[in-house]
Amino acid sequence: SGVVRRSLERQISFGAGERVELWKLQQELLGLEGFGNTEVVDFRIIEEGDRYGLRLETKPKSRGPNYINLGFDFDYSSSGETDADLLLAFRMTELNRLGAEWETFLSIGDRTRVFSEWYQPMEPSRRLFLAASVLYSNEFINAVDATDERLGFRLQEVEAGLDLGLRLGQSAELRLGYTRGFVRIGRALGLPADVVGWSDVGELRGSATIDTLDRANFPASGVFGTVVATASREELGAADNYTRLRAQLYKPITFGKNTIVPRVVAGIGIGGHDIPFYDRSSLGGFLQLSGYSRGGLYDQNAILAELIYYRELAKLPAALGGGLYAGLSLEVGDVWSDLDDLDAAEAKYGGSAFLGADTILGPLYFGVGAASGGEGAVYLQLNPVLRTDRQIR
């Protein structure tokens, strides 16, 4: 189509009359693979007299331009807690001449969550974009803090945001945005009385993301990293002043059919202000300090470091998906009220053993986890574990 043709033309870094090495041309065309609704990109050198031209040959993806994915999460911990959610993701692409996209993520169950984003490129190269989003979330937080005090409260969030973004090639992006909304804390246990009720949200948010993974499920190579800085200020309409930083980094390392994934995840407060109860960080759940219930540790700061290993055991029939895997994880992390109290010697340890399958419906996992203090849990889910989106926080 004209949309795809003009967009592809603007992804090529060299212009008419420039000398181009074949290896550079092949590298750039490889970067175009998967751009927009394009599945295959090939090229031919065309000669007309003393002039040479480049002809790109493409075909539409065999799937799309609209996509729907179903999934579920199920956790059962040794403390008797059960968490179960049904998941739905819907994505529409190429909605206008600039290639707009609309994505919606839905979770129904113990955690009700709806996130929807309209992604609008601002010019044909699609490097500059706007992204407008809305969020609704309703869940019950049942956790312990850094002092092992039990916390229990209902948390509801309603937010709308607008981001200005810049794509850097095919694998990285920068965003700067503003979010406005409100949150409500109810049915509180272990919280001060003055935090119960409604609070206004007003914050600036900046993020940087890089994703060079060869695939989203059971990746074998590449790197994924993201950093999100949030500044909540009264001048922006917020009830609380604080600054928070969240980050994630992991890199698959593969030898033969074996893959090791070192991974670090952190959510910390900076600037000396207390982070309110409605926006604190959590650990617990499959590969989030396995053995603990999902979100079972909850405080102002959280840090997790882990080593994940999986091996491809066999291939599924092509009609059913990709590989079958078995894996293990070793994990260490904790939550802290104050980073000055961080003590690696007092951190909590966890680990898991799991089976996985890269199915046509998504990655399927069955795992068991164990952690410090005799904690244990069983996990079954059809949903990405190494999440590279904002579907679930």
Looking at the fold, whether 282 and 243 belong to one and the same domain comes out as yes
Looking at the fold, whether 18 and 122 belong to one and the same domain comes out as no
In the chain, DSSP finds a helix count (H) and a strand count (E) of 2, 21
Integer angstrom CA distances of residue 44 from 4, 40, 243 = 18, 14, 52
Let me know if residue 389 belongs to a domain. no
Q: Which of 152, 160, 167 is nearest to 182 (CA)?
A: 160
Using one digit for the tens of pLDDT, what is the confidence trace for 119-145? 999 998 889 999 999 999 999 999 999
**Is 95 buried (19+), middle (13-18) or exposed (0-12) by CB count in 10 A?**
middle
Indicate the residue among 21, 42, 60 that finishes a domain: 60
pLDDT tier for residue 238 given thresholds of 50, 70 and 90:
very high
Asked whether residue 26 carries a pLDDT value surpassing 80, the answer given is no
Looking at the fold, whether 186 and 254 belong to one and the same domain comes out as yes
Looking at the fold, whether 158 and 218 belong to one and the same domain comes out as yes
Q: Which residue has the tokens 């993701």?
A: 89
Using one digit for the tens of pLDDT, what is the confidence trace for 335-384? 999 988 888 888 999 999 999 999 998 999 999 999 988 999 999 999 88
Looking at the fold, whether 48 and 91 belong to one and the same domain comes out as no
Return the CATH number at 152. Answer: 2.40.160.50
Q: What mean pLDDT is reported for the chain?
A: 88
As a whole-number percent, the residues of the chain with pLDDT over 90 amount to 67
Let me know if residue 145 belongs to a domain. yes
pLDDT at 342: 84
Which residues sit opposite 31 in a β-bridge? none
Asked whether residue 392 carries a pLDDT value surpassing 50, the answer given is no
Measured CA to CA, the distance from residue 165 to residue 65 in angstroms comes to: 23
The one-letter amino acid code at 161 reads: G
Cβ-based neighbours of 107, under 8 Å, separated by 6 or more: 85, 86, 87, 88, 113, 114, 391, 392
pLDDT at 43: 66
**What tokens were used for 281?**
């960080």
Measured CA to CA, the distance from residue 99 to residue 2 in angstroms comes to: 11
Measured CA to CA, the distance from residue 337 to residue 146 in angstroms comes to: 6
pLDDT at 257: 95
Measured CA to CA, the distance from residue 206 to residue 166 in angstroms comes to: 12
Let me know if residue 227 belongs to a domain. yes
Q: Which of 282, 274, 303, 301 is nearest to 144 (CA)?
A: 282
pLDDT at 278: 95
Categorise residue 321: left if φ over 0, alpha if ψ from -120 to 50, beta otherwise: left
Let me know if residue 127 belongs to a domain. yes
Looking at the fold, whether 20 and 114 belong to one and the same domain comes out as no
pLDDT tier for residue 389 given thresholds of 50, 70 and 90:
very low
Looking at the fold, whether 239 and 359 belong to one and the same domain comes out as yes
Write out the residue range of the structural domain in which residue 253 sits. 66-382
Let me know if residue 38 belongs to a domain. yes
Q: 3-class DSSP state for residue 148?
A: coil
Let me know if residue 390 belongs to a domain. no
Indicate the residue among 12, 32, 60 that finishes a domain: 60
CB 224 within 8 A of CB 388: yes
Measured CA to CA, the distance from residue 152 to residue 58 in angstroms comes to: 54
Let me know if residue 388 belongs to a domain. no
Looking at the fold, whether 52 and 117 belong to one and the same domain comes out as no
Looking at the fold, whether 28 and 92 belong to one and the same domain comes out as no
Let me know if residue 133 belongs to a domain. yes
Looking at the fold, whether 375 and 360 belong to one and the same domain comes out as yes
pLDDT at 37: 59
Looking at the fold, whether 296 and 378 belong to one and the same domain comes out as yes
Task: Report how many domains make up the chain.
Answer: 2
* CB environment 14-25: b (16+ within 10 A), e (fewer): eeeeeeeeeeee
Give the best-scoring range by mean pLDDT among 1-10, 17-26, 364-373: 364-373
Looking at the fold, whether 189 and 42 belong to one and the same domain comes out as no
Measured CA to CA, the distance from residue 222 to residue 376 in angstroms comes to: 32
Integer angstrom CA distances of residue 387 from 157, 198, 226, 279, 393 = 21, 30, 11, 20, 9
